Structure 1
Amino acid sequence: MGSEHVQTEAAGAFEGLDTWDDARILDALITGQERAIAAVRAVLPRIAEAAAVVAERIANGGCLIYAGAGTSIRIAVQDGSELPATFGMPEDKIAYLIAGGRNAMFDTLAEAEDDAVDGAAQAEIFQPGDVMVAVAASGSTPFTIAAARRAREKGAFVIAVVNNPGSALAAISDIEILLASGAEVIAGSTRMGAGTAQKAALNLLSTLTHIRLGAVHDGLMVNVQTGNAKLKRRAAAIVAKIANVDEARAMDALNAAGGHVKPAVLICAGAENHDAAQRLLRDAKGNLRLALARLAAP
C-alpha cells in the first residue's frame, strides 16, 4: 500500500498550523482526539466479537500475544502489562512480539518494523489455542504482517487493530477492528489520533474480555492482586462491599484467603474455610456471582 492511500499520513486542513495561536492549535488537537474516540465507538460490535474469542481462548488455556512496531506495540504493551495486576491474568499467558525487541520500547529503532523475517521468527511461539492482537496504524508494517501470517499458519486466531481501510494486515486476520480515526493533525504522527484510538480500543477489548472471564463483579476488580499495602486495603474494601461486612472482618477473611478477593468474599458469606471457598469457585468456573448463589442455596 502506498503512502498516498494511508489516511493517517494524508495532509489535513492544517496549513499554517505552526503560525496559529495556542488556543487554535490545541482546539485542532483535541478535535483529533475526539474523532479518535468516535472511531472506537463506531466499531464496538467488532470489539465485542473479538473479546468473545479472546475470552474463550484464555479460558481454554490459550495465550494472549500482542504484536506490532513503534507506537503501536508500545500502546499494546501498556495494555497487556496491566492485566495481571488488574484482572489476575497469569503473567505466563501474556507475550509480546516487538519489532526490534525490548530495546525498541525505549529507543527509536525505526528500521525494525521492516524486518519481516524477525516478525515470522518471533511468531514461532504461537500454539493453536492462542490469540494474537496485531496492532498497526497503517496496517502495512512488514514485521507485523509477517508475524500475523505465521501465527495463523500455526493455528492462532488473529485480531488486527488498524487505522486505515483495505490494509494487508486486515486481509490476513480473522477479525479486523478498523479504527477510522482519519488524517492526523500532524500528518503521519500516529502517536496522536491513531494512538488514542488504539489505546481506547485495546482497553475496551481487554476489559470486556476479563469481565466475561469473571474478573469483575459489580464493577469491582475481584481478581486484583494484593502486591502492596494500598492494593491490600483496596481488596479489603472490595470484600467488605460485596459481602456487606466491616473492613476489619474483610481484612481477616482476605488474610485467610491468601490475599485473594473471591474466596475472601465467600468466607465472609459463610464458606467454612479457604478450601471450601475454593471448591465453590472451581465448581462455578471462577464466577463469584454463581459461587455466592450456590453458597446461599438451601
Structure 2
Amino acid sequence: MNLTKLTTEQRNTNTMNLDKMTTIDILKTINKEDKQVAEAVENVLPAINKAVEEIFKALSNGARLFYVGAGTSGRLAVLDASECPPTFLTPPEMVQPVMAGGMGAFLQAVEGAEDDELQGEADLKEKKFTNQDVVIGITASGRTPYPIGALKYAQSIGAYTISISSNKESVISTYADCPIEVVVGPEILTGSTRMKAGTAHKMILNMISTTVMVKMGKVYENLMVDLNASNYKLKERAKHTVMEVTNVTYSEAEATLEETNYQVKPAIIMIQAKVDFQRASAALKNSRGYVREAITYLS
C-alpha cells in the first residue's frame, strides 16, 4: 500500500510553516485544527449508534467487549477500558484492552509489534474470545495488521466486529460489521495521528462506553450511581450523589451509605422508597439494576 495516499499521512496545507510560527500561533493553529474533530465525529454518529446498540445487547447477555490497537490506538484502548471499573463498577473482564506488544508497550513502544497480523489473532484467542463477544479494532491509518488480524479472526468465528479508523475505505473496514471511518483530515504535524485522529478516536470510545453504561443502568439522571467508592474522594462523591438525588442531609446520606457498604444505588432506593437495605436490594435485582424502575416497583 502507498501510505502517502492516506489522508492521515498527507501534509496539512495550513501548517506548512509550523517551524516558523511563534508559540501562540502554533497553539492557535492546533486549536483551530482540533475544532474540526467534533464535526468529524458528528458525521459518523449513525455508525456509533449502531455499534452501541450491538455492544449493549452483547454485554446485557453476559458477553465481553474488547478494544484492540497498536501504539496510540492501543493506549487509548487501555485508557477507556481501565476507567470502566472505577466509574461504572463493571467487572474487569467486561471491557478489556488488547495492545500490540503487550501491556508493557503502553509506556515503551515495542517496534514492529503492530505489523504482526497473526499476533493480533493470537492475543484475542488468548483472551478466550468467543462469538458472543464484541471486538473493536482501532487504527488511524486503517491498515495496521495487528488489529486487522484480530478482526479477521473474530469475523471468522461469527463474532460482531467494529472498526475505528480515520481514512475512507480503510482496509480494516472490510473486516468490520460496523465500520466507523472518522476522517479528520491531515494532521498538524504530518503523520502524527496521536493528534486529531487520536482525539477523535478517544471521543468515540468515550461515547461508546458511556452510552452503553447509561443504557445498562449504571447512571441515574446524570449521576454515577454504580461507582466504586474505594477512596476518600469517591466516598464523598457517593455521599453528595445521594444528597443530590434524595435531598437528605450529609449525615443521613453517610449513615445510609454505611448500611449499604457505600453502594449508591440501594442507598438512593432506601431513602426514596422508604425501605430497608434488604428490600432495596431485592427491588434492584428485580429491576436488573435500574434505579428508576426499582423505585417505581416499590411505590
TM-score, structure 2 as length reference: 0.95
Which residue of 180, 191, 197 corresponds with 1:177? Answer: 180
> What whole-Å deviation, never above 9, does each CA across 1:111-140 have from its counterpart, x for those lacking one?
100011211101112112111121100110
1:63 aligns with 2:38: no
> What whole-Å deviation, never above 9, does each CA across 1:61-117 have from its counterpart, x for those lacking one?
011111000001101111111011111111122222211111110112131000112
> What whole-Å deviation, never above 9, does each CA across 1:8-32 have from its counterpart, x for those lacking one?
1101212222012222222221122
For residues 291 and 45 of structure 1, what CA distance do their matches in structure 2 show? 32
For residues 102 and 91 of structure 1, what CA distance do their matches in structure 2 show? 15
Amino acid corresponding to residue 103 of structure 2 in structure 1: R
Q: Indicate the residue corresponding to 1:8 in structure 2.
A: 8
Q: Indicate the residue corresponding to 2:45 in structure 1.
A: 44
Q: Indicate the residue corresponding to 2:197 in structure 1.
A: 194
* Identity of matched residues, %: 35
TM superposition shift of 1:272: 3.3
Shifted more, 201-210 versus 21-30: the winner is: 21-30
| Structure-to-structure mapping, 1:121-132, within 5 angstroms | 121-124=122-125, 125-132=128-135
Q: Indicate the residue corresponding to 2:171 in structure 1.
A: 168
For residues 281 and 235 of structure 2, what CA distance do their matches in structure 1 show? 20
Amino acid corresponding to residue 75 of structure 1 in structure 2: L
| Structure-to-structure mapping, 1:58-97, within 5 angstroms | 58-97=59-98
Matched residue SS, 2:112: helix
Which residue of 277, 292, 299 corresponds with 1:274? Answer: 277
- CA RMSD between the two structures: 1.3
- What residue ranges of structure 1 are gaps of 5+ in the alignment? none
TM superposition shift of 1:182: 0.8
| Structure-to-structure mapping, 1:114-263, within 5 angstroms | 114-124=115-125, 125-263=128-266
For residues 238 and 284 of structure 1, what CA distance do their matches in structure 2 show? 21
TM superposition shift of 1:271: 4.9
- Aligned residues of 1:70 and 1:110 also touching (Cα < 8 A): no
Q: Indicate the residue corresponding to 1:289 in structure 2.
A: 292
Q: Indicate the residue corresponding to 1:53 in structure 2.
A: 54
For residues 146 and 295 of structure 1, what CA distance do their matches in structure 2 show? 50
TM superposition shift of 1:273: 2.3
> What whole-Å deviation, never above 9, does each CA across 1:173-197 have from its counterpart, x for those lacking one?
0111111111001111001110111
TM superposition shift of 1:159: 1.1
For residues 174 and 287 of structure 1, what CA distance do their matches in structure 2 show? 30
- Aligned residues of 1:249 and 1:268 also touching (Cα < 8 A): no
> What whole-Å deviation, never above 9, does each CA across 1:212-269 have from its counterpart, x for those lacking one?
1111111100111100111011111111221222121111111111211111111112
- Aligned residues of 1:37 and 1:196 also touching (Cα < 8 A): no
For residues 90 and 2 of structure 2, what CA distance do their matches in structure 1 show? 39
For residues 278 and 235 of structure 1, what CA distance do their matches in structure 2 show? 17
Shifted more, 211-220 versus 46-55: the winner is: 46-55
For residues 53 and 224 of structure 2, what CA distance do their matches in structure 1 show? 19
- What residue ranges of structure 2 are gaps of 5+ in the alignment? none
Amino acid corresponding to residue 220 of structure 1 in structure 2: L
Aligned positions, number: 296
Shifted more, 146-155 versus 55-64: the winner is: 146-155
TM superposition shift of 1:277: 1.1
Q: Indicate the residue corresponding to 1:29 in structure 2.
A: 30
Amino acid corresponding to residue 96 of structure 1 in structure 2: P
The runs of at least 4 aligned residues of structure 1 exceeding 4 Å deviation read: none
